[in-house]
């Protein structure tokens, strides 16, 4: 029996179904080995590109984000030669996490907040009534403003580096000298209660019977840690024997309230009232020999978050109080040259300002302890000003200055001592000035203090030093690698149906280039190690291997680089990358991306106006308008960088200081979540591909998963906003935890269903007419690749949707509709290009032949990929993120567990942060798959077939395999270009005042963008495309030259 396949084509531009003939014997002799080789080669090509990215990132980051050397020496003191007689026998250090200076100031910003101003009033009241015993300061907390880094600074007096923030979730014990080590050396006892971060850095510093740590990362728990501190604090203070010499109590409630609901919330007022009551009780229980220090380890921004270097994040409160001996006894204030004042934002009254690390040398000397070896802080003058001549202050500064000089001399003689080259002369001059003075007056005080300030400035600059060689090597790898990626893209694209052969030639060359580079890099290190400062063998290998491999590909397949090609294809990408040299562009990138995104579809709109078929005109223009409307609505959702004020207004949250969803979002979240699967179904119905697995997946898997994810955040809002009585809080917490788990469980079950039955096809059998054969119609044939892949993509959509807050969920829904609209635009533009190509040939009547006209649809272009890449960036900004640390939404860490649990908490935070980018990277193959039918295409035979004399095989999925790989390469190239732009700008502007505020964070965001883009396309091509093409080939693959018996 001989079967045939008929393919009626109702009208051009209308793809609703393709009939196919039923057969019992499909693909009788599949070339499995050949197909597996092609799969592995295409993935190997993408992995090669990712390897080049990783190597360039590693080298540049090693040179750009340096860490400082930690010295293990500690200060030895004999016969009180390196300290002062103690004024107090013991100290109580109370840390109120994220206590911003304006929370305690007597002159709050105008207008004053009802919730966090004029609430915690005891420090200012005692300072006003006892000016010699009580001092209130605005303390500058060095960024990054994360708890672990501030604990290190407070206890060692040292400065963190920018990359230290990565250790905030897994700190290791401190090897440097610290006040706790000095207490142990002096035989004194330390007690601790509160944030368990202290236990990771000081595991053996506290008395076991006076150590009470509590979990610190459960930001939804506002009271447990504070109540635990209170429970153990007061019994120690009330104990007449005073069993401690140094007591640390670390409260977390203020910080957790800020993270959860922001500073402008009744919960913040209640928490500050509680802290005020605690301080009153502590003051009442203090004896005359105990010094009280209360401080915030950092501040918080307007929304209650921290981590960056904004003014609100670095402004922390510091209060020192002595109930017994006065700290300052002279009516004459210290010399004005020693005192610095600053004005808090929104206020007009300057306040006394210090460095937060200044408390360490001051507290050490007041307790009669040596200053820790690595300290860079300066003693606070007011705490040692006890006579008109400042005798005690002079001695304190002399000890302080000598300690810093010793530290710098040791650092200078260390392997990292070269970092001080640029500032060593200035340091030596400042030190010589201190030795030349013999007086004890104001001049000596200022000279000593000046040396400390010069040393601090030098170290701040030193730990912002770079390794230009490593940076240059990293930039070289990224730049040459990008050129090689473009060479691969153009070569792979121009090879067309011969892409198998092209890959078979180029990929081995690239691998041989890597092998040769490894050898060259290792030999170069052995020969030139003495000329390569700061580099090791791995650096040399990771430079030579990808560089040589890239050069091999560029030489063997040179990319066409012309001004016309760059202008017509890459203009938006080039403009986007060049913009990172401007701090203003970086500030406002979230507002510029929508313009670039809409501009990217302008050529398609112009094509729509000139389309020869009215239906295509309406489709292109209509879906383009829908796309533009979705982009505009997405851009309404914003969070503001500090630099954007006062020209930016937060819309992602209810307000800049209330991190809750706006009311309109609460109203729309339910209807939008329910409507999204319906909208997806309507798009799939255009090609009648809402059948097969889609018929059950959309209503049974996707909609329940999205609803469960939405309900989690609704219940979270109700719990945070106090909508229900607090007695219901445990039930609400349990309920929303299981909602999130249900959402993830449904998504995973949907993945299993898709793996088993991935295709969106249905079979329609028409009874045979007399004298005719029976006809079998395959419903959904026109979109046999795109619809199953979109179902695959929707699995991850439901996961990211669950991790995203309510406003972000609306943005993701709009992004999904925008993506589908763009895919329909792209499909219609391809149809227009097909028509124009046919009419340009000598036989335009070929359009009437379905097989001839659609056997190979127009290939994708790089410009087709740009809107998808930009849509990912727009979704990133629209879901409440910025290229700043403080925009991380920590609430997502407690999605599927009520407390911090590894690895779930980091995974959900990452999904919340970069999930939108990942989704669009995963969607990149859709550019090649959408509305592509599995039409047969002749391919070259494998070598085994040639030897055996067998005939060419036909792969109906040949074009989509090639073009999905092209789409992946294009997407990776787009984000690699942005990374190169951010890296070059960060390197050139590394001495810019805003390098750590603007350019470094954007570079780090660029790194994340590349890593996420690479992961997304690898998953999409390696799993999604391969599974679908495998099943389609099984269904439609055939041998044209053999009659199937």
192 SS3 class: strand
| Residue-by-residue DSSP string for 655-681 | BTTB-S--HHHHHHHHHHHHHHHHHHH
User: What's residue 731's pLDDT?
Assistant: 86
| Residue-by-residue DSSP string for 435-470 | HH----SHHHHHHHHHHHHHHHHHHHHHTT---HHH
User: What's residue 383's pLDDT?
Assistant: 92
Fold of 90-368: Alkaline Phosphatase, subunit A (3.40.720)
Find residue 321's DSSP bridge partners.
134, 292
User: What's residue 176's pLDDT?
Assistant: 84
pLDDT (tens digit per residue) in 191-250: 999 988 888 888 888 999 999 998 877 777 788 899 999 999 999 999 988 899 999 999
pLDDT (tens digit per residue) in 909-919: 999 999 999 99
- H helices within 300-390, ranges in order? 311-314, 359-366
User: What's residue 189's pLDDT?
Assistant: 93
pLDDT (tens digit per residue) in 130-177: 999 999 999 999 887 888 888 888 999 988 765 544 344 444 567 788
| Residue-by-residue DSSP string for 755-824 | HHS----EEEEEPPPTTS--EEEEETGGGTTHHHHHHHHHHHHHHHHHHS-HHHHHHHHHHHHHHHHHHH
Please report how the helices 663-685 and 703-720 are oriented relative to each other, as an axis angle in degrees rounded to 10. Answer: 180
User: What's residue 68's pLDDT?
Assistant: 66
pLDDT (tens digit per residue) in 291-349: 999 999 999 988 888 877 788 989 999 999 999 888 888 677 888 888 999 999 989 89
Q: What is the mean pLDDT of residues 26-54?
A: 69
Dihedral (Cα; 813, 817, 823, 828), 10-degree rounding = 180
For residues 1019 and 161, the model is more confident at: 1019
What tokens appear for 438 in the block? Answer: 């013999």
pLDDT (tens digit per residue) in 449-493: 999 999 988 887 776 567 788 899 999 999 999 999 999 998 888
pLDDT (tens digit per residue) in 84-130: 889 999 999 999 999 999 999 999 998 899 999 999 999 999 999 99
DSSP percent split of the chain into helix, strand, coil, nearest 5: 60, 5, 30
Each domain of the chain, given as residue ranges in start order, spans: 17-30+562-769+779-1036, 90-368
pTM metric for this prediction: 0.81
For residues 325 and 658, the model is more confident at: 325
Q: What is the mean pLDDT of residues 645-671?
A: 88
Q: Which residue has 């390696």 as its token pair?
A: 1022
Q: Residues 6 or more apart from 668 whose CB is under 8 A from it?
A: 810
CA distance 676 to 801: 12
Element (H, E) at 58: helix 32-64
DSSP state of 144: S
Predicted confidence (pLDDT) at residue 1027 exceeds the cutoff of 80: yes
């Amino acid at each position: 029996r001989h079967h045939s396949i008929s393919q009626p084509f109702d009208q051009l531009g209308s793809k609703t179904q393709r009939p196919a003939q039923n057969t019992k014997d499909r693909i009788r002799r599949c070339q499995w080995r050949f197909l597996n080789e092609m799969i592995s080669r295409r993935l190997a090509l993408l992995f090669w590109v990712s390897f080049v990215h990783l190597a360039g990132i590693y080298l540049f980051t090693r040179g750009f984000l340096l860490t400082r050397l930690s010295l293990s020496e500690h200060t030895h003191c004999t016969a009180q030669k390196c300290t002062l007689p103690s004024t107090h026998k013991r100290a109580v250090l109370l840390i109120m996490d994220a206590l911003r200076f304006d929370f305690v100031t007597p002159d709050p910003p105008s207008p004053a907040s009802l919730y966090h101003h004029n609430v915690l009033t005891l420090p200012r009241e005692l300072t006003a009534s006892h000016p010699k015993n009580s001092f209130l300061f605005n303390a500058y907390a060095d960024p990054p403003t994360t708890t672990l880094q501030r604990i290190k600074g407070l206890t060692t007096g040292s400065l963190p580096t920018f990359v230290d923030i990565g250790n905030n979730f897994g700190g290791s014990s401190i090897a440097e000298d610290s006040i706790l080590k000095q207490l142990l050396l002096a035989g004194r006892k330390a007690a601790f209660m509160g944030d368990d971060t202290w236990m990771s850095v000081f595991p053996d510093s506290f008395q076991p019977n006076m150590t009470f740590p509590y979990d610190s990362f459960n930001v939804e728990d506002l009271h447990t840690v504070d109540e635990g501190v209170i429970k153990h604090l007061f019994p120690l203070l009330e104990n007449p024997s005073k069993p401690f010499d140094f007591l640390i109590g670390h409260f977390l409630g203020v910080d957790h309230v800020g993270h959860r609901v922001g500073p402008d919330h009744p919960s913040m007022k209640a928490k500050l009232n509680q802290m005020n009551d605690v301080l009153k009780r502590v003051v009442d229980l203090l004896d005359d020999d105990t010094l009280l220090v209360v401080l915030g380890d950092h501040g918080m921004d307007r929304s209650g978050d921290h981590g960056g270097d904004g003014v609100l994040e670095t402004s922390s409160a510091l209060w020192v109080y002595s109930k017994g001996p006065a700290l300052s006894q002279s009516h004459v204030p210290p010399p004005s040259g020693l005192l610095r004042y600053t004005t808090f934002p929104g206020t007009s009254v300057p306040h006394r300002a210090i460095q937060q690390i200044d408390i360490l040398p001051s507290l050490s000397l007041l307790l009669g302890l040596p200053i820790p070896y690595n300290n860079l802080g300066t003693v606070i003058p007011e705490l040692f000003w006890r006579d008109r001549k400042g005798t005690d202050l002079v001695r304190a500064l002399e000890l302080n200055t000598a300690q810093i000089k010793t530290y710098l001399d040791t650092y200078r003689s260390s392997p990292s001592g070269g970092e001080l080259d640029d500032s060593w002369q200035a340091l030596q001059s400042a030190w010589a000035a201190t030795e030349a003075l013999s007086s004890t007056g104001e001049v000596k005080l200022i000279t000593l203090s000046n040396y400390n300030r010069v040393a601090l400035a030098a170290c701040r600059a030193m730990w912002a030093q770079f390794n230009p060689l490593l940076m240059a090597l990293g930039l070289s790898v990224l730049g040459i690698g990008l050129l090689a990626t473009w060479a691969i893209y153009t070569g792979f694209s121009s090879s067309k149906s011969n892409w198998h052969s092209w890959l078979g030639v180029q990929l081995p060359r690239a691998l041989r280039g890597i092998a040769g580079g490894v050898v060259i890099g290792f030999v170069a290190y052995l020969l030139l190690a003495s000329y390569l400062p700061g580099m090791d063998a791995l650096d040399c290998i990771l430079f030579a291997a990808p560089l040589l491999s890239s050069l091999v590909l560029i030489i063997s397949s040179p990319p066409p680089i012309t001004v016309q090609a760059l202008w017509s294809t890459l203009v938006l990408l080039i403009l986007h990358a060049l913009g990172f040299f401007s701090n203003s562009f970086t500030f406002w990138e979230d507002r510029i991306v929508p313009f670039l995104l809409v501009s990217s579809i302008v050529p398609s709109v112009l094509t729509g106006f000139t389309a020869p078929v009215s239906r295509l005109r309406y489709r292109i223009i209509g879906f383009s308008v829908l796309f533009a409307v979705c982009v505009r609505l997405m851009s309404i959702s914003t969070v503001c960088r500090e630099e954007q004020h006062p020209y930016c207004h937060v819309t992602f949250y209810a307000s800049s200081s209330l991190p809750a969803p706006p009311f309109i979002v609460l109203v729309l979240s339910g209807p939008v979540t329910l409507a999204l699967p319906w909208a997806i179904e309507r798009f799939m119905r255009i090609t009648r591909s809402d059948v097969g697995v889609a018929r059950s997946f959309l209503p049974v898997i996707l909609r329940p998963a999205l609803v469960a994810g939405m309900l989690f955040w609704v219940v979270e809002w109700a719990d945070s906003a106090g909508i229900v009585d607090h007695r219901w809080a445990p039930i609400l917490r349990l309920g929303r935890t299981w909602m999130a788990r249900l959402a993830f469980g449904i998504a995973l079950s949907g993945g299993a269903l898709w793996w088993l039955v991935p295709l969106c096809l249905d079979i329609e059998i028409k009874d045979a007419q007399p004298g005719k054969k029976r006809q079998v119609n395959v419903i959904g044939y026109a979109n046999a690749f795109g619809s199953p892949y979109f179902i695959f993509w929707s699995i991850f959509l439901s996961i990211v949707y669950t991790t995203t807050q309510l406003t972000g969920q609306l943005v993701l829904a709009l992004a999904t509709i925008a993506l589908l609209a763009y895919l329909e635009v792209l499909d219609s533009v391809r149809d227009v290009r097909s028509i124009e190509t046919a009419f340009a040939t000598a036989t335009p009547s070929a359009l009437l032949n379905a097989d001839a006209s659609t056997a190979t649809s127009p290939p994708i272009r790089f410009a087709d990929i740009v809107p998808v890449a930009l849509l990912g960036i727009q979704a990133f900004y629209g879901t409440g993120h910025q290229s700043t640390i403080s925009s991380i939404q920590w609430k997502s860490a407690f999605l599927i567990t009520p407390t911090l649990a590894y690895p779930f908490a980091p995974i959900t935070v990452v999904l919340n942060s970069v999930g939108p980018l990942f989704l669009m990277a995963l969607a990149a193959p859709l550019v090649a798959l959408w509305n592509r039918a599995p039409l047969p295409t002749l391919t070259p035979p494998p070598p085994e077939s040639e030897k055996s004399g067998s005939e060419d095989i036909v792969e109906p999925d040949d074009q989509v395999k090639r073009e999905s790989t092209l789409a992946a390469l294009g997407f990776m190239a787009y984000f690699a270009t942005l990374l190169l732009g951010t890296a070059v700008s960060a390197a050139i502007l590394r001495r810019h005042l805003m390098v750590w505020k603007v350019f470094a964070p954007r570079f780090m965001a660029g790194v994340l963008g590349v890593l996420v883009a690479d992961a997304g396309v690898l998953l999409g091509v390696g799993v999604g495309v391969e599974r679908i093409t495998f099943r389609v080939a099984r269904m439609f693959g055939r041998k044209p030259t053999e009659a199937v018996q």
